[in-house]
Structure 1
Amino acid sequence: MSKKVEEVKESLSEMLELPKDIVLDLPKITMIGNLQIYIENHKGIIEYNKQRIRINTNNGLLRIIGKNLSIRTIVTEEIIIAGEIESVEFDT
């Protein structure tokens, strides 16, 4: 999408107090300590092993680094990852 359309959507989201994750199609990430991460609005898994999981989002790649990582649940737009999470990074 063009930058102008994104700016209009963001302004509209703020004026109407709508959630930005829905209006701008952004991922919503919830962490429970360093043991579990819940990601909504993902676009697929790029890489998966016990030390690193990379997930595609509309905002770029999300990289999760840790130990004994496993995917507990995965559905169309939601994913739950468990393990010892050491870092979460965005590559935009």
Structure 2
Amino acid sequence: MMRKWSAHLKKWFAEVSDIPEDVMLGVPRLTLIGQFRLSIENYQSVLSFSKTELKLALNEGELHITGNDFVLETILEKEIVLQGRVTGVRFENE
């Protein structure tokens, strides 16, 4: 109950302030340019990576990205940029 109330309070605060909602709530922000470049912000860690799949740990759950010819262009503390043909994006909640 308290966790749900806290999430509502954070969402409200993000709406009335200039702080972006994704930053306030700690949720990932995905920016897909065509099918060939994907930027993901606010991830926790890389769980696995191959030429056809990227799995990231999130604050709540995991993010699974599938495709072909993947290359990690950039890996920063809170942002990762993936190049290659993206064919699927799926959230797995714990």
* TM-score, normalisation: structure 2: 0.89
SS at match of 2:85: strand
List structure 1 runs of 4+ shifted beyond 6 angstroms: none
SS at match of 1:50: coil
Aligned residues: 92
What is the match of residue 84 of structure 1? 85
In structure 2, do the counterparts of structure 1 residues 79 and 3 end up closer, same or farther at CA, with 3 Å as the change threshold?
same
- Deviation at residue 47 of structure 1 after TM alignment: 1.0
- What one-letter code is carried by the residue in structure 1 that aligns with 2:31? T
What is the match of residue 3 of structure 1? 4
* C-alpha RMSD over aligned residues: 1.4
What is the match of residue 50 of structure 2? 49
* Residues 1-92 of structure 1 aligned to structure 2 (within 5 Å): 2-16=3-17, 18-92=19-93
- Deviation at residue 14 of structure 1 after TM alignment: 2.0
* TM-score, normalisation: structure 1: 0.91
Aligned partners of 1:75 and 1:22: how far apart in 2? 16
SS at match of 1:18: coil
- Deviation at residue 15 of structure 1 after TM alignment: 3.0
Identity among equivalent pairs (%) = 29
- Deviation at residue 13 of structure 1 after TM alignment: 1.7
Further displaced range: 56-65 or 38-47: 56-65
Instruction: Provide Cα deviations, 1:42-66, integer angstroms capped at 9, x if missing partner.
Output: 1010111111110111142111100
Further displaced range: 13-22 or 72-81: 13-22
Q: Which runs of 5+ in 2 are unaligned?
A: none
Instruction: Provide Cα deviations, 1:7-38, integer angstroms capped at 9, x if missing partner.
Output: 11112222335311111111111001000100
